[in-house]
Every structure is written in C-alpha cells, then in structure tokens.
Amino acid sequence: MTSVKERDLAGPGIGSYEELATLLPRDYRALLSPKETMRALYAAKRRIEDRLCYELGLTMVQVPLIVDSASGVNDYLDRDGSRTPVGFHISNDRDLHPVDAEVVQAATKWKRLALAEFDMGPGEGLLTDMRAVRKDYFLDHDHSAYVDQWDWEKAITAEQRTLEYLTTTVRAIWRVLKDTETYLRETFPALADPRYPALPDELTFIHAEDVLAEWPDLPRKQRETRLLQEHPAVFIYGIGWPLADGLPHELRAADYDDWSTETTSVDGRPMHGLNGDILVWNPVTLRRHELTSMGIRVTKESLRRQLELSGQLDFLDLPYHRAILRDEVPLSIGGGIGQSRTMMLLLRKAHLGEVSVTVWPQALKDLCAEWNIRVLE
C-alpha cells in the first residue's frame, strides 16, 4: 500500500475541490482592480527581467514553445512518469517529412544546449520568457495547466560547482524579488496592506535532510508548512536525493539538477545535492508557496549516476544526454522562476487566475466566484 509520504511526492495540487473550498481565504478582497493588476504586473515583469540580467550576467533570448519529441530536450519534471507532455504530429509535406513534436513543460534542458548555441562562456548566461503546458496538474489556486517562467541558465567553471556558489546565486535572485516588492509597494500603495507583511530581507537556508530530521513523521508538504511557519522564506537544498526515510524530499528529474553530489553543511556534516527550491509563506492564502526550483546542473558522471538511481539509463541514447557525455555543452547553473506564482505573491492575490489567463474547470470558477475571487477569462 502506498504511504502518505509516497503519495505526497506524486505531484503538486491539493487534490479535490471540496478540500480547496475549506482552504481558500475568507473575506478576500483584491487590493488592485484587474486593470491596475495588469499595470503592476508588467511593471514588475520588466523590472525583474532587467534586474535578473544585471545580477546574474544574463541576456534575454528567444525560447521554443515546441520541441522535437525525439530530441530528449523536453522536461519531464520528475522521474516517476506521472507528468507527460502534450504531443502532436506535424504531417508536413503530405507526411513525407513529418515531425513528432511536444509542447514544452519547461525549457530546463534546452537552455543548457542554448548556452553553446549562443556562445556563452563562464560567467555569461541567458534569460527566457518561457511559456509551457503541463496537462497533468490538478488545477487549484496556485497550479495551472498554463505555465509561464523566467527560465534562466548560466555557464560556470568546474570550480564553481559548489554549495557556496549556489547559495550566492540564490541570494542574488532573492535581492531581485525583494527589490521588486519594495518598488511595487511604493508605486502601488494599496499593496502595502498591514495584513500582508513584506518578505524577509534574507532567506533561511536548510538542507532537506535536516528538514526531515526535524519532522520525521510528516509528509513533505507538511514539513515545508511547519518550516515556513518558523521561517517565512527558505531555500531547501538537496531536493531529489533519497533521505533517511528512503524517499526524496520531492521527486526531481534525473537529467538536469545535480541532486546526488556529496556536499558538506556549514557545520561540517555530510549532505547531498547542489540544487534546491525557494519557498515562502503566502500571507494571503496562508499556505506554502513555491517560487523557484534551481540548481547546478549534472556533469556526465552525476548524470549517469542519477539515471541509474532512477532506472532511466536508456535516456543516455538521446541526443541531449549524449551531448553531456561528450562534453559538448557547458557546465552550468540554472532555474525556473514562476512568473504567475511570483505575481500572485507580490500583488497579494488569492489565485493564479487573477494574474494569468488560462482554462479552469467550471467547478473551480464557481468556487472562486463564491469567495469573491475574480478569475480572468
């Protein structure tokens, strides 16, 4: 029988609209009108993109919406096969030269190949305005089938593949988010509502192994909730490595982030993983809120090790994976920052549908209308 902890690994979402009805905020009132929301959203978007490029040494580039199914470039998000991309056949030339394509779920692997295509050397990187479709999510207040991310990637040296370099990069991203929050609260004073305190100036950094040790009997999302009630903005290291209970903190694909390399905690204890997530406490929804997943990317050694651990060594026959084995792509660090997730937080919204336009089931739209949440259509 599948344990509660194992079920908690099987993807995001709350699970039912009956449960969601008990969790949406009572007496909700948006601080900005839909028109004001769009003005604030695009002001914040421009500022974040400019600041990310400045802080991380990035250049904005174009990014694909669709990729060749045979390339191995699409992001499968996890390693249990539960989230598959939308695929379609392009008949092209009366099926003489067809292409089987997929809508991207994220640009995680494409970005690393793109570093070489754009001749990015160590210290240089790219930033994209990525749009994707993830059809296997449960659609709730902060999960949508339509995904928009700032997907970014930066070339690094072998000497920079350290926990210290990862931490420095995470802090730079947090500075961008804090700067944008300050700007929005000054430009749109309604956002400085005393019910919703500003984000902390600094993140708390903690290893997934220590989070489990603190709350060994709780599933992952409940562990994160307890942690965020004590520290309202955190970065959790090492997501993907099997922990002391035999399960990873969360399933993470085996072929982009390096979650298996041995590291050392600040106080000298052995740990694993050169990746992690930024999570915050959302004062509107009163729930955990993930903003970004990121990490130092696999080498050919850690790629093979992680594919073996996940039972996916057959992936080594795909072009993307062969390129890593042949040292044809740069060593890199990268991540994806959820745009709608970030705007939902900074603009004090209760639902993703207030900051992005996509499809929602009627059951969810009816529920939102009942709780005074205006979902865009």
Active site residues: 75, 134, 149, 277, 290, 293
Angle made by CA atoms 133, 138, 143, in degrees to the nearest 5: 60
- Model pLDDT for residues 134-193, shown as the tens digit of each residue: 998 899 999 999 999 999 999 999 999 999 999 999 999 999 999 999 999 999 999 999
**Nearest-angstrom CA–CA distance, 290 and 162:** 23
Whole-angstrom distance, CA of residue 260 vs CA of residue 275 = 9
pLDDT score, position 3: 65
Q: What is the pTM of this model?
A: 0.93
| pLDDT tier, 1 (very low <50, low <70, confident <90, very high otherwise) | very low
CB count within 10 Å of CB 202 equals 12
Q: What pLDDT is attached to residue 74?
A: 85
Task: Kindly indicate the confidence band of residue 8, based on its pLDDT and cuts at 50, 70 and 90.
Answer: low
For the chain, counts of helices (H) and of strands (E): 12, 13
Tell me: the pLDDT tens digits for 79-99? 566 788 999 999 999 999 999
